[in-house]
Structure 1
Amino acid sequence: MLLMGVVVDELKEIKARFGDERRTQIVDEAGEITLEDIIAEEDMVVNITSNGYIKRNPTSLFKIQRRGGKGKTGMTTKEEDFVSDLFIASTHSYILFFTDKGKAYSLKVYDIPQAGRAAKGKAIVNILNVAPDEHITTFLPVREFKEGNYITMATAHGVIKKSDLMSFSHIRSGGLIAVNLDEGDSLIAARLTDGKMDFFLGTHLGQAIRFPEEEVREMGRIARGVRGIKLDGNDRVVSMETVEENATVLTVTDHGYGKRTEFAEYRGQGRGGSGLINIKITEKNGPVTGIVKVRDSDELMISTSTGKIIRIAMKDVPVIGRNTQGVKLMDIAPDEHITGIAPIAEKEEEDEGEAEEA
């Protein structure tokens, strides 16, 4: 009994010292814990290559260097591959992928494989449930799905369609239909817009049109869209860009010619018109292969049908008028043609100290 009394006294003392309310709750069922709840939110550098490889790394791997430094290898690529896109996104952000078949797929940044700085990453088609005959044409990083933002898409047949961004907030693993395509048509571009932009559509045979976003009404996700530009004969749309007055339009042709033109050269027109002459098409320069929005500080990769690639600085490409044939950007053989163009996300490495301040 003496021992029991000691135990009781000690328990009373413990109760007096630690008698606060219980800090954990006992419930009938445990609450659902999602994967996102246990993944720390941090900024990642996401790399995507021209051949469709993707990876992510923490921004902490890339320390600030003085101007003129060599930089660090961000990704190992094959000789014919290169980093075409690089951006910073939170692990909890989304990336929307759009295919030529008009479907959209979604991926959380934390689902992208994290690899070393020099690793090439993983093929996107091995991460997404993309059909064998589908090709990814565009991707868009999305931090937050909110009202007032849109996904605007363009097709090769000149159709343009705008849908509420919110309708892409829950995409199943098999993807969803982003636009209902006519037979033989394909999705060539998608852009994140705010309802107040101007669109620029450029065609294979050298036409272009600029019109305000407000002329494109919002439509349901599986709708077809409306006419963006009237096409003649076998012409097709090769590019859609949103207009930025501090940028220029780079047009590259089949035979290796190209030029930059100020957006101001393209006056606004009504949606659905035939547009203006963007570049003078001749036997010498050939039809348009690609059009992209660029700035003076940008660099570009141009690839050919024989696997050759050239890298050029935009400051070396002249800014000239619309109705001109451009200048030679790449010397190609008679049986060769340009197959693709892409801005480069990573700058050429310089020798350390080459551009140091005095």
Structure 2
Amino acid sequence: EDLIEEEQCVFTLTQAGYIKRTPVSEYAAQSKGGMGKKGITTREEDAVADLFTASTHDHILFFTDTGKVYRKKGYQIPVSGKTAKGTNIVNILQVEQGERVQAMIHYREAGGEEEMYLFMVTRNGTVKRLPVQALRNLRSSGIRALRMDEGDRLVSVRETDGTKKILIATHGGMAVCFDENDVRPMGREAVGVRGIKLREGDHVVGAARAAAGKTVLSITEKGFGKRTPVEEYRVTNRGVGGIKNYMVTEKTGGIVGVKVVDGTEDLLLVTQAGILIRTHVDAIKQCGRATQGVIVMRFKEEGDRVISMALADREEAAQTATPEEDPV
């Protein structure tokens, strides 16, 4: 492992189960409002399900819809070009027939693991805090990380240290922020507890660790986005209905995901058609919670939509296109 060069890569997983890693340097930054460029080649019936940036020396945890977890090192994921389809995940993980990877997380193994937790959030608003040491001895066939109710699925996993504030956001534009210690550490077989009370038809799209002085970056299906100071999200008890995070309208579409940022990062967005754009986070306007935000990405194909977002280290823009004035 010491002979393998450490580098930051974009890890991409499709809904059909194809995964690949591509060096971050292959994606040049663009100005806000650009149209992006081809980031992956998918079949017509396939679409990108998840992506993030991580090191080749990081551990990659794969959580499936059955509540099991598998682990690989970043360099064990085959490297592919920017437009390549990738490798079917069944060639990398010993998943059972019908089992599907629903979430990925990366972490660096270090000292003091007994103080590290994985905070899991499901689509139906259930949360669970699992000590990382519970996953220390992973079999190649995977082990169970949580037990979910029928019809539920995992949507977000975050690494915490027992001192974090957790922010959960929904597709309909609601959010709740609470102390992670409101959720006691549980064993691998536990179901979890309620994290947010959902309105009818709504579902959780993501979770983040809230930190003072940072902003909550929200992105919608139709390419809108904004940053809102974390301080605008008051800390409450878990299990409540929350407060408005975004003014969701037909023009903006529902929320795709949220990230807590400090403005020094780059944002990577990927659409259903496989188009990927990279833009500076600090170019996205700061707005209040109940606003529509600004246009972050325009689409080449009618009917296309944003389906995933990730953060990467800052890179100077290679293109200086000046988009039209964005509506607020």
Please indicate the TM-score interval, normalised by the length of the shorter structure.
Answer: 0.7 to 0.9
Q: How many residues align?
A: 293
Deviation (angstroms), 1:121: 11
- Measured against aligned partners, the alpha-carbon deviations of 1:220-265 in whole angstroms (never above 9, x if no partner) come to 1111000000001011100011112243111111222111111111
**1:54–1:120 CA contact under 8 A, matched in 2:** no
- Higher deviation after alignment, 124-133 or 275-284: 124-133
Percent pairwise identity: 33
Equivalent in the alignment of 1:130: 95
Equivalent in the alignment of 2:69: 104
**Distance in 1, Cα, partners of 2:74 & 2:233:** 37
Partner residue of 2:306 out of 338, 351, 356? 338
AA aligned to 1:143 is: E
* SS of residue matched to 2:7: strand
**1:55–1:112 CA contact under 8 A, matched in 2:** no
Equivalent in the alignment of 1:186: 153
**Distance in 2, Cα, partners of 1:85 & 1:302:** 12
Higher helix share: 1
**1:84–1:345 CA contact under 8 A, matched in 2:** no
Give the gaps of 5 or more residues in structure 2. Answer: 14-18, 28-36, 42-50, 320-328
Distance 1:124 1:295, change over 3 A: farther
Equivalent in the alignment of 2:33: none
AA aligned to 2:286 is: V
Distance 1:117 1:345, change over 3 A: farther
Equivalent in the alignment of 2:30: none
Distance 1:102 1:246, change over 3 A: farther
AA aligned to 1:79 is: K
Distance 1:127 1:345, change over 3 A: farther
Q: Does residue 11 of structure 2 align to residue 49 of structure 1? A: yes
**Distance in 2, Cα, partners of 1:308 & 1:266:** 32
Deviation (angstroms), 1:266: 0.1
**Distance in 1, Cα, partners of 2:11 & 2:74:** 16
Distance 1:195 1:43, change over 3 A: farther
Q: Does residue 40 of structure 2 align to residue 81 of structure 1? A: yes
Equivalent in the alignment of 1:140: 106
* Root mean square deviation of aligned Cα: 3.3
Q: Does residue 275 of structure 2 align to residue 308 of structure 1? A: yes
Distance 1:189 1:271, change over 3 A: same
Report which structure shows greater RCO (CA 8 Å, sep ≥6).
2
Give the gaps of 5 or more residues in structure 1. Answer: 1-38, 57-70, 352-358
Distance 1:265 1:189, change over 3 A: same
**2:215–2:228 CA contact under 8 A, matched in 1:** yes
- Higher deviation after alignment, 240-249 or 80-89: 80-89
| TM-score (structure 2 length as normaliser) | 0.77
Q: Which has the larger radius of gyration?
A: 1
Higher strand share: 2
Equivalent in the alignment of 1:259: 226
**Distance in 2, Cα, partners of 1:319 & 1:40:** 42
AA aligned to 1:99 is: T
Equivalent in the alignment of 1:215: 182
**2:64–2:99 CA contact under 8 A, matched in 1:** no
* SS of residue matched to 1:264: helix
Equivalent in the alignment of 1:31: none
| TM-score (structure 1 length as normaliser) | 0.71
